[in-house]
């Protein structure tokens, strides 16, 4: 909680309104990474996110039991990278933070995760993926949901093509 | 290592995209999508290197990576811990991944964006299954090992090459459910492949040619590695392969397309396995399907195993051939019936042969027919041994691994399809007979 108080919402957030709206669209795929001990990368799929009113903070939901090494790495290093991608358009951005911290779940978080799963199922169904398959690999016990918040400190284009890797807004 | 890479190969078919996490030296994490995680062996995978991005920058200084993959049928998820070893920018692995990527790019609308710069080879340190729900594994269409065993029975029958190829393609259809297949053999100077047998096409296409390095078949031959593409891709299509083939050799352009390559216009899955024996490339065994993702890693293994046996069988037939049986009593040849002579034209430039105005064949098979006809016209001979064909300077067989048997099959098939006046048949082990039904006139055009 100390860390969160230290990071005042940036005057001009890394994420503009359009990008914030993009990562909140239904059907956006999310995967996160963090450095574990020995600088070993840890990885895990996220199940939806929230963005604070001034876009100063992103909160990402995980099925904690499915990615314990990632959660441990986030807790220990506080460094996070999240890739957001829309399967139907390949539009992709990556957002990074250096102050990641576990947060208490908000009351609406389990419902948020469920809405996110439904949105992703619909997105992939339109691309021809069978619903039972998508539901199975997104499956999560609501009791194991974990929320991780961070202040975006850098964000990059990652849509395949010549602009991939450039900072957002450049 | 708890799980071996081969046990989760189905997750590496690219049906669902994989993601990769890496860390910079200062610990800044990076996460991105990877177009292809390719199976190399039980302890290695290779990832596509397409862009100079953060992932690449990171693994060069901190060679560790974590990858998430999903099983396309059961939804089982696995986390792979990897260690970057090296990047390959040419050779069999690179070419097989390049072909596969072309299929993925075209399937995902990324043609022209996805371009393989290198195959990044990683050691697999650990594979862990992520706890969660899983769908039951679908019942496989067939047991591939049992199918493979059934297919290999054709090699125990001791038949000639033409029968062997025919039986083999029939066995692939019956036991592996592969309805469209062809066998191509390497030509003399070793830069072209010609079709000697096919199954499942309206036209046999026997005699059609493809250049090494062109399309799925040509790349498999050039790199001596199986090439498997799981989606329709213009980059590796027949049209493209034939066009390039033609461009590479302007001289023979007209003839190369004279016999159309068989092949599905709407091929969505293609798999080519090189036929190699004694360290020498003999040809390519090729199968295809109008269905996406029709051939798996296991199908690839089955076809490669069949191709290896085919290579040994062809080599063995050749050795048998070199020691012909004692001369059989020549079959009495009926004197050619009267009628208009059939005009056979031979052009020394490329050994192309035309019957009347129709192109028949060129290359070594063309040179063989010219020798047979010249000897027949001079001495009335109709019986020939493979040994004398090998020694005949006019035919110019390239070396010991000459594929003579395959050339004879090709010539025999082309004559059967294109000429009523001339026929070639086997008259014993290592022997052939020229059957002439009409008077023949041989018109020779020297170089």
Every domain of chain B and the residues it spans: 5-130, 144-322, 342-445
A85 vs B: CB within 8 A: yes
Percent of chain A with pLDDT over 90: 80
In this prediction, residue B336 has a pLDDT band, given cuts at 50, 70 and 90, of low
- The tens digit of pLDDT for each residue in A84-97 reads 999 999 999 999 99
ipTM score assigned to the predicted complex:
0.92
Check whether domain A2-157 has CATH 2.30.110.10, yes or no: yes
Choose the mutation target among A120, A137, A155, A165 for the interface with B, i.e. most B CBs under 10 Å.
Answer: A137
Chain A: closest CA distance from residue B34 (Å): 10
User: Terminus-to-terminus CA distance in chain A, angstroms?
Assistant: 33
- d(Cα B300, Cα B303) in Å, to the nearest integer? 5
In this prediction, residue B173 has a pLDDT band, given cuts at 50, 70 and 90, of very high
In this prediction, residue B105 has a pLDDT band, given cuts at 50, 70 and 90, of confident
Token pair listed for B62: 């901190």
Token pair listed for B126: 């650990």
Across chain A, mean pLDDT equals 91
- d(Cα B3, Cα B280) in Å, to the nearest integer? 36
Across chain B, mean pLDDT equals 87
The residue ranges of DSSP E strands in A2-159, in sequence order, are: 29-35, 41-51, 58-63, 80-85, 92-97, 101-103, 145-150, 152-157
Q: Which residues of A touch B109 (CB under 8 A)?
A: 90
What pLDDT, on a 0 to 100 scale, did the predictor assign at position B243? 53
- d(Cα B305, Cα B226) in Å, to the nearest integer? 11
What pLDDT, on a 0 to 100 scale, did the predictor assign at position B251? 45
Residues of B near A (CB-CB distance < 8 A)?
16-17, 19-23, 25, 27-33, 50-51, 53-54, 62, 64-68, 70, 72-75, 77, 79, 81, 108-110, 113-114, 130-135
DSSP 3-state of B349? coil
In this prediction, residue B333 has a pLDDT band, given cuts at 50, 70 and 90, of low
Percent of chain B with pLDDT over 90: 56
Picking from B31, B67, B110, the nearest residue to A82 by CB comes out as B31
By the 10 Å C-beta count (0-12 exposed, 13-18 middle, 19+ buried), B168 is classed as buried
- d(Cα B234, Cα B226) in Å, to the nearest integer? 19
Q: Would the pLDDT of A145 be above 60?
A: yes
Partner-chain contact A41 B65, CB within 8 Å: yes
Picking from A85, A87, A96, the nearest residue to B28 by CB comes out as A96
In this prediction, residue B2 has a pLDDT band, given cuts at 50, 70 and 90, of confident
CATH number of B5-130: 2.30.110.10
DSSP 3-state of B275? strand
Q: What is the mean pLDDT of residues A114-129?
A: 95
Q: Which residues of A touch B34 (CB under 8 A)?
A: none
Partner-chain contact A66 B30, CB within 8 Å: no
Q: Which CATH architecture has domain B144-322?
A: 2-Layer Sandwich (3.30)
- The tens digit of pLDDT for each residue in B381-409 reads 999 998 888 888 877 766 555 678 888 99
- The tens digit of pLDDT for each residue in A60-87 reads 999 999 999 999 999 999 999 999 999 9
In this prediction, residue B187 has a pLDDT band, given cuts at 50, 70 and 90, of confident
Picking from A66, A81, A129, the nearest residue to B29 by CB comes out as A81
Tell me the β-bridge partners of B69: B78
Q: Which residues of A touch B68 (CB under 8 A)?
A: 31, 43-45
DSSP 3-state of A37? helix
Higher pLDDT, B239 or B318: B318
Q: What is the mean pLDDT of residues B258-283?
A: 87
Q: Would the pLDDT of B327 be above 80?
A: no
Q: Which CATH architecture has domain B342-445?
A: Orthogonal Bundle (1.10)
- Asked whether B386 and B433 are in contact (CB, 8 A), the reply is no
What pLDDT, on a 0 to 100 scale, did the predictor assign at position A62? 98
A35 vs B: CB within 8 A: yes
Partner-chain contact B33 A92, CB within 8 Å: yes
Q: Would the pLDDT of B145 be above 80?
A: yes
Chain B: closest CA distance from residue A52 (Å): 23
Q: What is the mean pLDDT of residues A19-40?
A: 96
Picking from A66, A87, A136, the nearest residue to B134 by CB comes out as A136
Using CA atoms, how far residue B156 sits from B150, B159, B239, B313, in Å, is 11, 8, 37, 9
Q: Where are the domains of chain A?
A: 2-157
What pLDDT, on a 0 to 100 scale, did the predictor assign at position B250? 47
Chain B: closest CA distance from residue A79 (Å): 6
Neighbours of B276 (CB within 10 A): 20
A59 vs B: CB within 8 A: no
Question: Which of B420, B429, B243 has the alpha carbon at shortest distance from B339?
Answer: B420
- Within 8 A by CB and 6+ apart from B16, the residues are A129, A137, B69, B70, B72
Picking from B16, B32, B131, the nearest residue to A66 by CB comes out as B131
With CA atoms as reference, the chain B residue closest to A137 would be: B75
Q: For A131, what's the count of Cα atoms within 13 Å in the CB-facing half-sphere?
A: 4
Q: Would the pLDDT of B138 be above 60?
A: yes
Q: What is the mean pLDDT of residues B71-76?
A: 93
Helix ranges restricted to H, B263-403: 297-322, 364-379, 386-391
Q: What is the mean pLDDT of residues B314-325?
A: 74
Higher pLDDT, A119 or A13: A119
Chain B: closest CA distance from residue A12 (Å): 22
In this prediction, residue B335 has a pLDDT band, given cuts at 50, 70 and 90, of low
Most confident of A100-109, B94-103, B258-267: A100-109
Picking from B28, B54, B132, the nearest residue to A66 by CB comes out as B132
Partner-chain contact A160 B73, CB within 8 Å: no
Neighbours of B97 (CB within 10 A): 25
A19 vs B: CB within 8 A: no
- Within 8 A by CB and 6+ apart from A30, the residues are A23, A45, A46, A47, A48, A49, A60, A82, A83, A84, A85
DSSP 3-state of B172? helix
**Interfacial A residues in 99-138 facing B (CB < 8 Å):** 129, 132-137
Window from A13-22, B239-248, B334-343 with minimum mean pLDDT: B239-248
Picking from A45, A67, A139, the nearest residue to B133 by CB comes out as A139
With CA atoms as reference, the chain B residue closest to A166 would be: B53
């Amino acid at each position: 909680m100390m860390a969160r108080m230290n990071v005042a919402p940036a005057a001009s957030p890394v994420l503009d309104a359009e990008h914030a709206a993009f990562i909140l669209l239904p059907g956006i795929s999310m995967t996160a990474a963090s450095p574990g001990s020995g600088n070993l990368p840890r990885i895990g799929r996220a199940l939806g996110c929230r963005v604070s009113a001034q876009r100063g903070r992103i909160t990402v939901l995980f099925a904690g039991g499915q990615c314990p090494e990632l959660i441990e790495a986030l807790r220990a290093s506080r460094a996070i990278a999240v890739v957001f991608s829309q399967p139907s358009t390949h539009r992709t951005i990556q957002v990074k933070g250096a102050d990641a911290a576990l947060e208490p779940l908000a009351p609406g978080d389990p419902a948020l995760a469920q809405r996110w799963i439904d949105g992703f199922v619909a997105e992939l169904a339109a691309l021809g993926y069978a619903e039972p398959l998508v539901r199975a690999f997104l499956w999560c016990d609501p009791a194991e949901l974990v929320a991780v918040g961070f202040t975006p400190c850098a964000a990059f284009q990652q849509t395949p093509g010549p602009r991939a890797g450039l900072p957002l807004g450049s | 290592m708890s799980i071996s890479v081969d046990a989760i190969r189905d997750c590496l078919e690219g049906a669902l995209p994989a993601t990769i996490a890496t860390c910079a030296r200062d610990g800044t994490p990076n996460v991105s999508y990877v177009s292809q995680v390719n199976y190399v062996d039980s302890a290695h995978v290779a990832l596509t290197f397409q862009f100079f991005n953060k992932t690449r920058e990171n693994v060069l200084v901190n060679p560790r990576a974590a990858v998430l993959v999903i099983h396309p049928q059961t939804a089982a998820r696995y986390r792979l811990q990897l260690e970057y070893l090296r990047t390959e920018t040419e050779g069999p692995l690179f070419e097989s991944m390049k072909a596969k990527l072309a299929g993925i790019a075209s399937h995902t609308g990324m043609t022209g964006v996805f371009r393989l710069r290198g195959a990044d080879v990683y050691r697999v340190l650990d594979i862990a299954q992520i706890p969660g729900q899983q769908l039951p594994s679908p019942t496989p269409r067939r047991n591939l090992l049992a199918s493979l065993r059934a297919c290999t029975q054709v090699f125990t029958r001791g038949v000639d090459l033409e029968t062997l190829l025919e039986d083999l393609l029939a066995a692939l259809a019956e036991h592996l459910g592969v309805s469209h297949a062809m066998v191509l053999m390497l030509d003399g100077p070793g830069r072209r492949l010609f079709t000697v047998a096919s199954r499942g096409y309206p036209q046999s296409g026997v005699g059609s040619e493809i250049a090494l390095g062109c399309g799925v078949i040509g790349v498999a031959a050039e790199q001596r590695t199986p090439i498997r593409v799981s989606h329709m891709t213009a980059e590796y299509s027949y049209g493209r392969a034939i066009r390039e083939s033609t461009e590479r050799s302007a001289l023979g352009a007209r003839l190369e397309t004279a016999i159309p390559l068989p092949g599905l216009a709407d091929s969505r899955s293609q798999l080519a396995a090189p036929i190699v024996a004694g360290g020498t490339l003999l040809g390519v065994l090729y199968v295809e399907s109008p269905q996406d993702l029709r051939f798996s890693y296991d199908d690839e293994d089955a076809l490669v195993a069949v191709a290896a046996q085919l290579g040994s069988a062809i080599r063995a037939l050749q050795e048998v051939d070199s020691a012909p049986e004692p001369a059989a009593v020549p079959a009495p040849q009926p004197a050619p019936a009267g009628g208009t002579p059939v005009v056979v034209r031979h052009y020394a430039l490329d050994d192309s042969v035309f019957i009347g105005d129709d192109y028949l064949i060129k290359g070594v098979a063309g040179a063989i027919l010219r020798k047979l006809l010249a000897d027949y016209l001079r001495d009335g001979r109709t019986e020939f041994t493979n040994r004398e064909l090998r020694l005949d300077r006019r035919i110019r067989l390239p070396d010991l691994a000459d594929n003579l048997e395959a050339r004879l099959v090709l010539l025999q098939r082309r004559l059967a399809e294109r000429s009523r006046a001339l026929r070639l048949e086997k008259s014993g082990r290592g022997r052939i007979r020229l059957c002439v039904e009409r008077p023949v006139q041989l018109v020779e055009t020297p170089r």
